[in-house]
Amino acid sequence: MATDKKVYQFIAQEASLFSGKIRPYLQYKNIPYETVIPSVQVRQEIMIPRVGWSVIPVIITPGDRVVQDTTSIIEYLEQEHPHPSVVPPTPRQNLVSLLLELFADEWLMIPAMHYRWNKAENKKYIDLQSGRIIKEHFPPLEQMENMDDFKGYRFFKNSIQYMGVNKDTTAEIERTYQEFLQDFQQHLNSYPYLLGYRPCVADFAFCGPLYAHLYRDPVPGYLMKCQAPLVASYVERMNGAVLSPSHDVVDGKAVKKSVPPDKQGFLPGDEIPATLEPLLRRMFTEQVPVLLDTVKKVTQYMKDNPKVDVLPRVIGFHDFRLGDIASQRGIYTYPIWMLQRITAYYSSLLPGQQQMIDRFLDRYPGGHELVKADLSGCRVERMDVRVRRVESAQAKL
């Protein structure tokens, strides 16, 4: 698989949530890449031996280095291709980008998975996506047949119960997702991206669930386009569509419109747009209590199981609430790794910057607790989709 072209290989699939985070990033950064479909052979001969897990997306660099995990991929590529940076240079905006990346990756995944796997009308379309890959040599109409026994399919379908998707919660998941769509649409009425006029890491993270599942899949795709067309347009724009007049005509020639200076870049003054408040409030109300309880539970688990090095992906169940509904969901260990990046970022700031962040977080329940969470008892480092124990002294993120 080593390649002598200066082109990255992107092992990914259109239907894959996390592939949807990296594809628009590669396009925005103008990074040359070719897509490699994770065929049975690619999984067996490249992914398992080189990544250690059958997971997408994966990047293979022109120098034949394998990078897996979307957060790590963006971090790696930002170093290799720093301009234009998608990491806001100012503390409040960078913190919001980190927070909303975690919200998109680990929380918007809930409606994304619910709508994909619980709506019978999606079935043929979804079956065809996987059928094309595992039944490569069959005629197209046969590729979508008898897919119920496909192992990868069962894995994803079964995983929704761990995400708290069950008969008690589905109506509330749909209600809060539709509220989210309205909130985000209101934001997009004022700004093209989350932090103004330039995409940050969280914009790409939003494209994971919003493009791969909630835009492409038939049932939620119809919903998004009908109820929140600005969100659908955002997803299209992020994936390269040009939707508004882009050129003026000068002397008979189409000339790209110039962008006024106040419509470029992240908002000045480290400003967080007021229209993001409902999205952040949703994260702090719904997801943050789960994250804070995860810290407690994983800390206890690591204390009780000192010999366990690689943590299970789910270590049990805990209570969670969505609106008025109380239910249970799996205690995932991976988000601890993402949360570590947030607490480490907060700790790295100067006291004055921390105070500014504190003042900003005053309005959000659990805001201070989250950025100051004590993760000393649950230090982890990432290996494939799982995380491994790290003693605090050697902790590196």
Ligand X SMILES: N[C@@H](CCC(=O)N[C@@H](CS)C(=O)NCC(=O)O)C(=O)O
Minimum distance, C-beta of residue 385 to ligand X, in the bound complex (Å): 5
Please give the residue whose beta carbon sits closest to ligand X in the complex.
Answer: 70
Burial of 293 (0-12, 13-18, 19+ CB in 10 A): middle
Query: In Å, what is the CA distance from 390 to each residue of 362, 378, 381?
Result: 32, 8, 6
Structural contact between residues 34 and 42, judged by C-beta atoms closer than 8 angstroms:
no
Residue 10, helix vs strand vs coil: strand
Shortest gap between Cβ of 113 and ligand X (angstroms)?
10
Smallest gap from residue 153 Cβ to ligand X (A): 12
> What does the alpha-carbon distance between residue 318 and residue 335 come to, in Å, rounded to a whole number?
15
Q: Write phi, then psi, for 89 (nearest 5 degrees).
A: -80, -10
**Closer Cβ to ligand X, 292 or 383, answer by number:** 383
Residue ranges that bind ligand X, judged by CB under 6 A: 16-18, 55-56, 69-71, 385
CB of 221 to ligand X, least distance (A): 17
Terminal Cα distance for the chain, rounded = 29
Nearest approach in angstroms of CB 56 to ligand X is 5
Identity of the residue, 192 or 335, whose beta carbon is nearer to ligand X in the bound complex: 335
Query: Between residues 162 and 345, which has the closer beta carbon with respect to ligand X?
Result: 162
Nearer to ligand X by C-beta: 101 or 286?
101
17 or 280: whose CB is closer to ligand X?
Answer: 17
> Given the DSSP bridges, would you call strands 253-256 and 247-250 parallel, antiparallel or unpaired?
antiparallel
To which residue do tokens 């985070």 refer? 21
CB-CB contact of 14 with 133 (8 Å): no
Nearest residue (CB) to ligand X, 230 versus 344: 344
Distance, in Å, from the CA atom of 6 to the CA atom of 40, rounded to the nearest integer, reads 26
Minimum distance, C-beta of residue 200 to ligand X, in the bound complex (Å): 16
